[in-house]
Amino acid sequence: MHPIIWAQVKRVRDATDLFECSGFRSSGWDAGADAPAAQASRLTVAVRVCGRTAFNCIVAFDAADVTFPPDLIVQGAGGFCPDLGSIKPLVEWRAQDDRSLLQALVAVRLMFIADQRRRMAECPVERIVFDVSCLSHVYDLELLVEMGDDDHKLVCHFYLPLAYEEFFSDTDDQEPAGKAILHVALTANAITNKIEATSRELLTPPRLLPDSTIRLPALGLDTLILDYVEQVQDVLARSRNARFNSLASREMLVKCFLTEFQQFIVEYDSVDFTYLSLFISIVSPVPNKSTPNVTAAALVNITIPKSFPDAPPAIMLVSPVVFKSPDSHVPESREWRVAFTRNTIIEDYVEFVKNNIVAQIAQFHGTVTPKLK
């Protein structure tokens, strides 16, 4: 593939949420098998709308003059035929600008979405017509009409972007993740002109995958999508506040442990504050010896769930020297259950752990040391 063509294609290929490139071929229309990349000047681009392939677009460059704008041939778009003469990136084609093909395909995609809006606006189902008119102000709204399992049924997909202010620990800059997508599908009967079924799912960033951790309200057959969007935004706001409060509570708990057990800290999570580990040795003085005997020791691993303070921390005592069996590499361990409720004061909880940890380690040591004999 010519470097100019490849630079254009690479831009399209990288836009994986919008397009999928395949079927690289040589310029001859009778070419059957896929051509080597070095010889290819044609390809098929699957155009995605509402999370699925809506149609294909064959992109054919002129192998004799790669600076000439490519032909775009739309297939499987249900009668949609774009006005290529109105697509500025094609009319004013700049081969050296590697964004030109991407911009042209984005323009075709937007034309298709506008055509889907027109189809929905002319739909005999009044509810769908009203929903589309109510959502005309939504920026980046995606629409797609598909035939249902029966010939007289159609499925109308709505892809609605929602503000999503959640933060992710795997991003270095800790910036808001961006937009979530509310996907609503209405199945209508073209004979009765009634909505027969609804479905909805929330796709959250950064990968825009379905999020099962957020419980969406039910979407009734008579519920307008605009009203439903407000309900979902309320759910997201409550979820965001709960997660923020949980993070603040986890941070407070970890910092209390850091203060009270400063010299015993092995490691801790300084981003999400979901765990910390202590190493505590119990020593007893020995007459005429400058070095005391270590009578018991344990790793104290404290795991704090993301749902804290609704769910309690888990404290696990782990032996540094005793294993499950002579051939095992898994150390002996025991959970120490400390009562905790949402109303428990964090400082009181840490103080209780501090006052009782020595006794717990001594008891744990007594149960595992016989295995050394």
Task: Name the more confident of 342 and 198.
Answer: 198
Same domain, 216 and 288: no
58-64 average pLDDT score? 89
Question: How many angstroms separate the CA atoms of 79 and 320, rounded?
Answer: 71
Same domain, 256 and 210: no
pLDDT digits (tens, 9 = 90+) for 79-90: 899 999 999 999
Question: Would 117 be classed as within a structural domain?
Answer: no
Which residues are registered as beta bridge partners of 203?
Answer: 181, 210
Question: How many angstroms separate the CA atoms of 339 and 331, rounded?
Answer: 25
Please report the pLDDT score of residue 332 as a whole number. Answer: 87
Question: Would 166 be classed as within a structural domain?
Answer: yes
Give the domain-ending residue among 80, 111, 142: 111
Asked whether the predicted pLDDT for residue 72 surpasses 90, the reply is: yes
Please report the pLDDT score of residue 28 as a whole number. Answer: 59
Please report the pLDDT score of residue 266 as a whole number. Answer: 94
Same domain, 91 and 173: no
Structural domain count, the chain: 3
Please report the pLDDT score of residue 293 as a whole number. Answer: 63
Q: Could you give the percent of the chain with pLDDT greater than 90?
A: 57
Please report the pLDDT score of residue 170 as a whole number. Answer: 39
Q: Are the beta carbons of 284 and 293 closer than 8 angstroms?
A: yes
Same domain, 296 and 338: yes
Same domain, 131 and 216: yes
Task: Name the more confident of 365 and 284.
Answer: 365
Residue 109 in tokens? 């995609």
Task: Name the more confident of 4 and 173.
Answer: 4
Question: Would 235 be classed as within a structural domain?
Answer: no
DSSP letters, 13-29, are: HH-TTTEEEEEEE-S-T
* Lowest mean pLDDT segment, chosen from 46-55, 125-134, 234-243, 263-272: 234-243
Please report the pLDDT score of residue 296 as a whole number. Answer: 82
Same domain, 344 and 272: yes
Give the domain-ending residue among 111, 139, 154: 111
pLDDT digits (tens, 9 = 90+) for 267-325: 999 999 999 999 998 875 555 566 556 578 899 999 999 889 889 999 999 988 888 77
Question: Would 116 be classed as within a structural domain?
Answer: no
Question: How many angstroms separate the CA atoms of 146 and 172, rounded?
Answer: 40
Q: Are the beta carbons of 86 and 92 closer than 8 angstroms?
A: no
Asked whether the predicted pLDDT for residue 373 surpasses 50, the reply is: no
Residue 97 in tokens? 């600008």
Task: Name the more confident of 50 and 323.
Answer: 50
Asked whether the predicted pLDDT for residue 368 surpasses 90, the reply is: no
Please report the pLDDT score of residue 246 as a whole number. Answer: 87
Q: Are the beta carbons of 40 and 59 closer than 8 angstroms?
A: no
Question: Would 275 be classed as within a structural domain?
Answer: yes
Q: Could you give the percent of the chain with pLDDT greater than 70?
A: 88
Q: Residue 184 gets which letter from DSSP?
A: E
Same domain, 145 and 41: no
Question: Would 241 be classed as within a structural domain?
Answer: no
Q: Are the beta carbons of 313 and 304 closer than 8 angstroms?
A: yes
Please report the pLDDT score of residue 229 as a whole number. Answer: 94
Phi/psi for 279 (5° steps) reads -125, 115
Question: Would 289 be classed as within a structural domain?
Answer: yes
The mean of the pLDDT values for the chain is 86
Query: What is the layout of strands, in order, in the sheet containing 52-60?
Result: 19-25, 42-49, 52-60, 71-75
Question: Would 324 be classed as within a structural domain?
Answer: yes
pLDDT digits (tens, 9 = 90+) for 95-111: 999 999 999 999 999 99
pLDDT range class, residue 331, cuts 50, 70, 90: confident
Same domain, 26 and 70: yes
Q: Are the beta carbons of 44 and 57 closer than 8 angstroms?
A: yes
Same domain, 174 and 208: yes
Residue 266: give its domain's CATH number: 3.10.110
Residue 347 in tokens? 């400082």
Nearest alpha carbon to residue 24 among 9, 43, 10: 43
* Lowest mean pLDDT segment, chosen from 36-50, 211-225, 297-311: 36-50
* Lowest mean pLDDT segment, chosen from 20-34, 60-74, 214-228: 20-34
Biggest distance spanned by C-alpha atoms of the chain: 99
Same domain, 92 and 134: no
Mapped onto helix, strand or coil, the DSSP state of residue 246 is helix
Asked whether the predicted pLDDT for residue 46 surpasses 60, the reply is: yes
In this structure, how many other beta carbons lie within 10 angstroms of the beta carbon of residue 170? 7
352-359 average pLDDT score? 92
Same domain, 275 and 207: no
Domain housing 99: 3-111
Please report the pLDDT score of residue 44 as a whole number. Answer: 94
Same domain, 334 and 269: yes
Please report the pLDDT score of residue 294 as a whole number. Answer: 59
